[in-house]
A = this chain, B = another copy of it.
Amino acid sequence: MNFLNEVAGRYPEALSLAAGRPYEEYFDLAAVPRYLARYERYLAEERGLAPDQIRRTVLQYGRTKGIIHELVARNLAVDEGIEVDPEAVVVTVGCQEAMVLVLRALRSDERDVLLAVTPTYVGLTGAARLVDLPVRAVRGGPAGVDLAELAAAVRAARTEGLRPRACYLLADNSNPSGVTLDLAARRALLELAEQEDLLLLEDNPYGLFSADRLPTLKALDTARRVVYLGSFAKTGLPGARVGYLVADQSVAAPDGTVSLLADELAKLKSMLTVNTSPIAQAVIAGKLLEHDCSLLRANDREIARYRENLATLLTALATAFPPGSGVSWNAPAGGFFLVVTVPFPVDDTLLEHSARDHALLFTPMRHFDDTPPAAHQLRLSVSLLTAAQVEEGVQRLAALVASQA
């Protein structure tokens, strides 16, 4: 994504339908000390800590698995109906560190491979490269995951003497595709994971932003097949860089002792970042506490904004590109992203032209997917914009499309 950042830097006046950062108009610097104070009050009143213990909890080195694990577990119960033992939670430096920890744990030697639903979030691809874990693409398609192709990929890898350890996906409002798996697909995927003895790595930064929310894979996971990857970047505060994972699986060591996967991942974390900033965790904890641990409630304004933006985008696209225009797009149930298919190649050269001549930024889908359809696709994001900016963005996209005719 370096090229994208670089283009964005060279054309600062261009309207960005590329950026996936959360809406920032409601950011409030005064909230940070308020959140800190709220968490300190919780430590005193609900946890019974003395002043010196509170000081130490927030300011000293902290527990490797994090200090807000109980609040994370409460949040998952309140917003997602996921009941987890707080001991299975590892608080991480954003979801990115969570991915690195899990992938590093899954790679023991060169026989290990990861499957990932494509188009794939670039952060996953980066984490896999960092830990030298090869990634094999499994087609997502309109249903969100092609189960037959997933099963075939697992078997093909095994036939080659490889160990397919897990399959990574976003089941809700995926980045970059915007696709959501329906309930039947979720159940079928969990069943396949059980049959094929495969872990599922469920990354869920956008699940809160659907009109009709479905249970997460983790909420449906009765066989502990799902490692859940959580982020507070979109729903808490990006500037805290706090994420987490839930890993309630049992792991047997060669000597026969059994431990919790979360504890094994914490050992890796102690070598990677030692612990997640307790101050940053306290900020997120305060926001959770202010809203009875519901981020759905905490984000009511943002959720309304994203829904309005997505509806505006769908309407504006339908107006700008009538049937027969050769331009098509999908209709996500929520989230930040939507994919447009155009009748000409979409690459970094086109992006440069778009930025320069049409003051519009987007993300070529070939950054996420190297199959042929992606070569004619682009991702639009609505998260950082007002509805008026979304409309203006579609006008500029129409001008770009016209320039390619």
Name A's B-contacting residues (CB within 8 A): 1-2, 21-22, 24, 27-29, 32-33, 36, 40, 52, 54-56, 58-62, 93-94, 96-97, 100, 104, 123, 126-127, 129-130, 132, 233, 237-242, 267-268, 270-280, 283
Contacts and interface: CB of A to CB of B under 8 A. Distances in A.
Contacts of A283: 279
Given A24-B56, A239-B62, A273 B273 contact: yes
A276 B94 CA distance: 9
A241 to B, nearest CB: 4
Given A29-B40, A61-B239, A96-B273, 19 more contacts: A2-B267, A24-B52, A24-B59, A24-B60, A27-B55, A27-B60, A29-B36, A58-B239, A60-B239, A104-B130, A126-B270, A130-B268, A239-B277, A241-B273, A272-B272, A273-B273, A277-B277, A279-B283, A280-B280
30 contacts: A1-B270, A24-B59, A27-B55, A27-B59, A27-B60, A29-B40, A29-B55, A32-B36, A32-B58, A33-B33, A59-B237, A59-B239, A60-B238, A60-B239, A61-B239, A93-B273, A94-B273, A97-B272, A100-B271, A130-B271, A130-B272, A132-B132, A239-B277, A239-B279, A241-B273, A241-B277, A241-B278, A241-B280, A272-B272, A279-B280
Contacts of A280: 241, 277, 279-280
- Sorted nearest first, the 9 A-B pairs with minimum C-beta distance are A126-B271, A33-B33, A241-B277, A59-B239, A239-B278, A93-B273, A277-B280, A27-B59, A61-B238
A54 B279 CA distance: 19
A265 to B, nearest CB: 12
The oligomer's copy count stands at 2
Contacts of A58: 29, 32, 239
A29 B96 contact: no
Contacts of A273: 93-94, 96-97, 241, 273
Given A24-B55, A280-B279, A272 B238 contact: no
B59 A238 contact: yes
A274 B96 contact: yes
Contact of A277 (B36, B240, B268): B240
Nearest to A57: B239
A273 B238 CA distance: 12
B233 A61 contact: yes
Given A55-B24, A271-B127, A279 B32 contact: yes
A278 B29 CA distance: 12
Nearest to A56: B24
Contacts of A276: 93, 241
Given A93-B93, A127-B271, A267-B2, A59 B29 contact: yes
A270 B59 CA distance: 26
A100 B273 CA distance: 9
Given A27-B56, A239-B58, A123 B2 contact: no
Contacts of A104: 130
A22 B241 CA distance: 24
A29 B237 CA distance: 21
A362 to B, nearest CB: 19
A386 B240 CA distance: 34
A241 B55 CA distance: 15
A289 to B, nearest CB: 16
